[in-house]
Chains A and B, each alone.
Chain A
């Protein structure tokens, strides 16, 4: 049963110019995003900067109003929810932000930051809340003595733990993690990833995990959705996505990620995309990826955006892609086409 169902979600920001602030155009930040998340699952959302990942997260939580489309959380339409319904919904849907330096109020003590959601939702007495805050700090690997300190006394990794404790305070069912590890050093990043995995096991959480680092997303997610210029172009199981990507953008993205293994790196072939990501204020006609796509055909690619649908095959309905010319794989073939990179599980090093 899906806990979150996002259908054709759109968020367009008006561009206003002149003294009269007339709307002269729109930034199509999120332009038709659809996916669903099952209870207890982690869905990864990847894409390059400016593709609309974070905007999508904010619209799902109704921190920003949607332009069009629907977000259904546990059967309730988030966009149509009344104030009271929304406040109840917010207990179930929380967010951890990317920048641990900007997302914690520097004038508040840690105990107040973590306890604020409890206070706003009027849960328990002051003493009970205090006890709850201590137990939350412990859950994320901090101690009671940290409670009376201010955010500037903490390192980036510890701050991010405080952010997680705050998100956990209301006992949510869904946590949107918006680039929670991008600002952290590798060794601290690994601590954070393990913490998120442990919390998911203990508390039966559902994650929408947003990041631009494909290695991290693949590691933590059950399924991955790839975004490009405001649209989801491919969704698949994370293992399948790496071995059998179907969208040319996904293939290029995967091939561009350096793997910390010199032998593997020497044998890999990289797909280098030409040019930059177009402006979301002026997206290309037809398929948004067509100006950079190596497989582009003027008809139909420049005319209409292909629908996001299953291409059949043994991956079944789990693997959906928005492309007129997706990569095909033979039924027994477990690898990527053209020998692009090693296949997982195969040892590429000489004996």
Chain B
């Protein structure tokens, strides 16, 4: 029986701007179990970060507002909590690491002070105890000479070390859920490998649930158990990684997989990019957000968003194309990479 940590249903977050309403997240549902990793992939503007911020209730209001849906952390509805209770949840139950570790650390405080602050705030420890814990945590995330390093300022840390410090801060209160928003995008690939290693290790140690938000399908393949593919504020496909990579049903997922050059490709194959430009979020169609770029578009696509269709174990897709036709199209794709695992 999986230990369900998080259940998000039908979440919608809109931004009310002068130019109009931006439906950044539009009816998104997903779950997260203890010890599991959920990958949220999508391109810029697909709503993946706003989805995470909505869970944390960190969407700037105004202009943003969660307009519908529920977010259950075990049996508590986070959207119904008052601000004080929510502050307790952040850090204690859910912690988040951000993409840019330079802007998320305060440049005028020592790294140790910043980590200790979290511990004093959430665990009621004394300053000295918290400081010792900060040293321990930095050591745990693999920063050498942790005792010296805690007394330094963020500018004295390299990008990889700053991200480690962020992870130390995030795990300081032993949260059930760790949300990592593009944790490695600003880092070089060898440093990325180190950071992914640290996150995976911490997850194993604390048995926490991890949500990793990324645009890199490689990172998803490496880290995630389940994956949610987002486009224009909507979930277009959702399921276990193997299902989504080897049995993808949504034309956008096909497009993403076909767009990627692969390091392990033995013969050079021409990429099959997705045509057109990313959507204007102010002018999204009422129906499927991918209509307009989708090569298999039908008249109904831009009018109404399709219901969830279950196509495999835990594998759901939103697409109007009939399933037989989907298999047929997929067979004919010139550069379809999935399909070799059953």
Contacts and interface: CB of A to CB of B under 8 A. Distances in A.
Contact of B256 (A186, A252, A254, A349): A186
B188 A212 contact: yes
A258 B342 CA distance: 22
B303 to A, nearest CB: 24
A344 B219 contact: no
B213 to A, nearest CB: 15
Contact of A194 (B44, B194, B273, B337): B273
Q: From A189, A253, A258, name the one whose CB has the most chain B CB atoms within 10 angstroms.
A: A258
B268 A219 contact: yes
| Interface bin, chain B | 35 or more
Nearest to B244: A262
A185 B245 contact: no
Contacts of A218: 261, 263, 265
A214 B265 contact: no
Interface in B184-198: 188-194, 196-197
A341 interface: yes
Given A214-B189, A272-B197, A261 B271 contact: no
A256 B44 CA distance: 24
Contacts of A342: 264
Contacts of B255: 187
B292 interface: no
Interface string A153-170: 001011000000000000
A188 B45 CA distance: 14
B278 A215 contact: no
Contacts of B221: 258-262, 264-265
Contacts of A49: 188
B308 interface: no
Interface string B213-249: 0011111111000000000000000000110011000
A187 B268 contact: no
B272 interface: yes
A350 interface: yes
Contacts of B79: none
A148 interface: no
A253 B340 contact: no
Interface in A190-209: 190-191, 193-194, 197
B245 A262 contact: yes
Interface string B165-204: 0000000000000000000000011111110110000000
A262 B242 CA distance: 6
A48 interface: yes
Interface in A297-347: 341-342, 344-345, 347
Contacts of B89: none
B271 A219 contact: yes
Contacts of A239: 266
Interface of B: 43-44, 144, 158, 160-161, 188-194, 196-197, 215-222, 241-242, 245-246, 255-268, 270-275, 277-278, 337, 340-342
Q: Which 10 pairs of residues, A with B, have the shortest CB-CB distance?
A: A258-B218, A344-B266, A219-B261, A190-B273, A190-B259, A187-B274, A260-B217, A345-B266, A48-B188, A256-B193
27 contacts: A48-B188, A155-B277, A187-B43, A190-B258, A190-B260, A190-B271, A191-B275, A193-B261, A214-B189, A219-B262, A220-B261, A239-B266, A242-B264, A256-B189, A256-B190, A258-B216, A259-B221, A259-B262, A260-B217, A260-B260, A261-B221, A262-B245, A264-B221, A265-B218, A270-B193, A272-B193, A276-B191
Given A259-B263, A265-B221, 15 more contacts: A185-B44, A186-B217, A187-B256, A190-B272, A193-B273, A216-B261, A219-B271, A242-B264, A258-B192, A261-B221, A262-B221, A262-B246, A270-B197, A272-B193, A272-B197
